[in-house]
Structure 1
């Protein structure tokens, strides 16, 4: 079995189209169709449903797709590793960064890295930590910042920084007169929250579950400026990392009682090949984290 038709199968599965797969792979569409047909003949199985222009995998095709993803990924990593033995570099880092860190912690680090390594391209994917962790496990990212709660056995991580999650309220909110805010008091207020899948939402949901309380979420948005604006105008309260609140935000932050500290790590796959570009980025980011700690 050759690897080329497996690569075609992976692309067809992920684009649900022979035409899009061909465009993605940079080959002619008939070449993709012929390669898949030959693979089906070789295996004696139908791998793809082609009825009514809807392209989808059969059960047999889906099982082969699961293996093909791993084979193609391993082959690409082997090619990269062999290339780097000849002194060549990938020159690209695919890193996942949660929204708060992407907006407030990482920009100067990313700029400093690019200044030191101008030939390395940075592809930054912003999203929720759960989504980013899944992308990392699938090999869609090389590195990702995650909250170290329960690290999967498939991942390895390096400590980056520890940051406090704080209650955020308007300047005239009664909580501004308190030193700390209990979970019960926090959940008695209308909340402005990130959507599910983001680490700060996951922490709040777990806190509510532990307290046996259903949160009263009035607003859901992943836009940090909008969360700040709604909170500043007194339409709810929120919780954010302390680094996110700036002097001119006209917002007050208070610790939870007891305080909530997040252990933020940068992770990569144990069985994946970490290119020289990714190694350089990992070392650089960890060094910056130590200088902040």
Structure 2
């Protein structure tokens, strides 16, 4: 089986469109259509339903799509490794970072890494840890920051940061004068939370489940500055990493009566090829952590 038609097939399956797939692949649409027809003829199977410009996978196409991702990733890994052996690596690091860490922990690390390795390019994606984990597993990202306790078998990881989640309130909130906050008291308040898929939200959902309580969520947003603004104005409280609050005099951080610690890891595919550029980035992150 030729790899190019398989790559075209996978892109059409992702885009649900021959036109959008051609645009993404930077080829003419007839070339994509012809490649798919040849692939279907070779396999003697129909891979797509084509109705009223709507494209969807047949059952046979869905089965092939499961294999296609693994095959294409293996080919890309082999090509990258061979390029590096010839000294032709493009030196790209594709890393996914959650919003809180992307705003408060990684900027100096990213800049320092770029200064040390000026020939390497960095592609940074912001998303929740759940999404980042999936993107690393499927090969969309080379590296991703996830919560250590949730690392699946398909990934390998190294813990680089242990940080405490703190109850976050305005300076005039009653909790600001307390040494600690009970879970029961926290969940009675109106909460400002990240949406599902972010470790911030997973922590709160896990604590609520463990305590047998229902979170009173008044605001949901993935915009960290908005969360902080809402809390400052007294319209709710939240829980954020301690690092987010160190240089903000208008917010008060109070620990839970049972402290909540998060171990954060940098992860990559266990059976994938970790390029020299990505290995250098992992090593740099771990060394920076040990220097803190």
1:204 and 1:176 map into 2 onto residues whose CA distance is 19
Which residue is equivalent to 2:21?
21
Larger mean CA deviation between 21-30 and 251-260 belongs to 21-30
Q: What CA deviation, in whole Å up to 9, does each residue of 1:99-132 have, x standing for no partner?
A: 0000000001101111111111111110111111
Q: Which residue of 2 aligns with 1:81?
A: 81
Q: 1:212 to 1:49 in 2, by over 3 A?
A: same
- After the TM superposition, which of the residue ranges 217-226 and 14-23 deviates more from structure 2? 14-23
Q: CA offset at residue 25 of structure 1? A: 1.7
- SS of equivalent to 1:279: helix
Superposition deviation, residue 27 in structure 1: 2.0
Match for residue 144 of structure 2? 144
Shift of 1:49: 1.3
1:94 maps to 94
Distance 1:105 1:38 in 2: 50
Determine the structure 1 residue equivalent to 2:47: 47
SS of the residue 1:257 aligns to:
coil
Q: Give the secondary structure class of the aligned counterpart of 2:256.
A: strand
Q: Using the alignment, how far apart are the partners of 1:224 and 1:28 within structure 2?
A: 42
Aligned counterpart, 1:165: 165
What residue is the counterpart of 2:127 in the other structure? 127
- What TM-score do you get using the length of structure 2 for normalisation? 0.98
Query: Are the aligned partners of 1:90 and 1:275 in contact in 2 as well (CA < 8 Å)?
Result: no
Corresponding residue for residue 57 of structure 1: 57
Instruction: State the 1:22 CA deviation.
Output: 1.7
| Structure 1: gaps of 5 or more residues | none
Matched, 1:189 2:174: no
- SS for the counterpart of 1:287 is helix
Report the equivalent of 2:156: 156
Q: What is the distance in 2 between the residues matched to 1:227 and 1:41? A: 55
TM-score by length of 1: 0.97
- How far residue 249 of structure 1 moved from its aligned partner, in angstroms, is 4.1
1:190-227 CA-to-partner distances (Å, cap 9, x unmatched) read: 11111111101101101001111011011111111111
1:105 paired residue number: 105
Unaligned runs of 5+ in 2: none
Q: 1:14 to 1:249 in 2, by over 3 A?
A: farther
Q: For this pair of structures, how many residues does the alignment match?
A: 292
What do the CA deviations read for 1:68-113 (whole angstroms, capped 9, x no partner)?
Answer: 1111111011011011111121311110101000000000110111
